[in-house]
Amino acid sequence: MGRTLQNKKRRSSRSTIRQANKLKKPLNPRGNSIIAQNWDKNETLTQNYRRIGLTSRLKTPSGGIEKFVRNVGKAPKQTRLDPLGIKSIDRAVVTSARVERDADGKIVKIHMPEDSGRPPRANPLNDPLRQFDSDSEDEDEDEEEWGGVEDDENKPEVLRMLEEEAARPELKKPRHQSEQETEWLEKLIKRHGDNYEAMAWDRKLNPMQQTAGDLRRRVAKLRASE
């Protein structure tokens, strides 16, 4: 069966199509002058980016990860998790409290033990169940305020130079009208004057259908440059 199929393949006049293993767009990682000066041709793109302090892939790795010499032969430490183990907590939890009720059975007051270690919370609405709320508010209060990203001393010097270049303000270059645009606007002004609506509807002189507002701005810029 298999031999017959192979013979048919040999007799076929249709050539085998092979996918070219080439990038459709040539990669130019050295487009930046700082990266080009610190680029090592003997290293791969991933190795160069790792040394500089950049990442070549934002997604998770789809294949294997390159192993370093210092990590070869070292098995990763795996800790066995106990499914029945209970994680201890640092803060003590109140397990009992004394509740006062009225004649109808409604909660009037809750007496917490003195050694609970919790300061009294503000309760402007006199909610008797306020003290049994979740600990999320306490955890939010204990969190430190975020003060921004701290400058890492171990950051590569190339990465510092790239960040300084990215933070440098870019000067906006003013746009100048070309000679063809000036001639085109002068023809529109000569025919329609200041009637920008008529300029917008002129199919012969305005084939690209520029709006009246756009023509008004162009004419104002032309008159300001004169």
32 close to 162: Cβ distance less than 8 angstroms: yes
Instruction: Give the sign of the dihedral formed by CA 220, CA 221, CA 224, CA 226.
Output: negative
pLDDT digits (tens, 9 = 90+) for 157-197: 888 898 888 888 888 888 889 999 999 999 999 999 999 99
What is the pLDDT at residue 216? 95
Helix (H) or strand (E) holding 110: strand 107-111
Contacts of 145 (CB under 8 A, 6+ apart): none
Helix (H) or strand (E) holding 112: none
Backbone φ/ψ region at 87: left (φ over 0), alpha (ψ -120 to 50), beta: beta
pLDDT at residue 199 tops 90: yes
SS3 156: coil
Specify the length of the chain in residues. 226
pLDDT at residue 149 tops 90: no
Select the more confidently predicted residue: 182 or 44.
182
Select the more confidently predicted residue: 103 or 9.
103
Contacts of 119 (CB under 8 A, 6+ apart): none
What is the pLDDT at residue 213? 95
pLDDT at residue 155 tops 80: yes
Helix (H) or strand (E) holding 216: helix 212-225
Site of tokens 């009294």: 120
Q: Where are the domains of the chain?
A: 179-225
In single-letter form, the type of residue at position 131 comes to Q
Select the more confidently predicted residue: 210 or 65.
210
184 close to 214: Cβ distance less than 8 angstroms: no
* Confidence (pTM): 0.38
108 close to 102: Cβ distance less than 8 angstroms: yes
pLDDT at residue 17 tops 80: no
What is the pLDDT at residue 125? 66
pLDDT at residue 116 tops 90: no
SS3 141: helix
Q: Which two tokens stand for residue 120?
A: 């009294």
What is the pLDDT at residue 214? 96
What is the pLDDT at residue 18? 76
pLDDT at residue 117 tops 90: no
Question: Alpha-carbon distance 201 to 212, whole Å?
Answer: 9
Select the more confidently predicted residue: 148 or 36.
36
Q: How confident is the model at residue 80 (pLDDT cuts 50, 70, 90)?
A: low
